[in-house]
Amino acid sequence: MKILVAAFLLLFLTEGTADSRGLKVRRNIRDYQVEATIDRYPLVLGDNHIEIDIRDGSGMSVTGAKVLVNYYMPPMPRMVPMNYKTEARLKSDKYEAKMNIIMAGPWYIKIIIKHQDKISTAKFNVDAQ
């Protein structure tokens, strides 16, 4: 229960907006501004679509990156770790991926960006029902 309360508080203390239509989170990391949009919030069991917009310091879209989405549930006693990775594909000027959520509860999402010999990571917490 403490983990769920902590995840809930972290979600609303970070920059982002959420409602039944989706979740939008922004992070500034290194030389990039990363905006992740998930199609519904809270996440549902099954497929959830994530769109990632990466901009450089001048506001231009970054389209030559390799983007990996790592989504995982925090470790819990007597449970097998749930840790999944999917590559986000470039579509127009944004990256897209699907996350298959298999259990309700708190999840962590890490967006790993490899661009111009640099690795940058944006992290945020979500909840699934």
Place of tokens 């959520």: 101
Output phi, psi for 7, to 5 deg: -65, -40
Q: Please state the pTM of the whole predicted model.
A: 0.83
Tokens for 129, please give them. Answer: 């029902």
Give mean pLDDT, residues 46-68. Answer: 97
Tokens for 69, please give them. Answer: 């989405």
Q: Break the chain down into helix, strand, coil percent, rounded to 5.
A: 10, 60, 30
How many CA atoms lie within 13 Å of 72's alpha carbon, on the beta-carbon side? Answer: 15
CATH 3.40.640.10 fits 2-128, yes or no: no
114, 70 in Cβ contact below 8 A? no
pLDDT tens-digit map of 62-106: 999 999 999 999 888 998 889 999 999 999 999 999 999 999 999
Where exactly are the structural domains of the chain?
2-128
Place of tokens 């990391």: 29
Quick one: how far is CA 3 from the chain centroid?
18
pLDDT confidence bin for 18, thresholds 50/70/90: low
SS (H, E, C) 44-86: CCEEEEEEEEEECCCCCECCCCEEEEEEEECCCCCCCCEEEEE
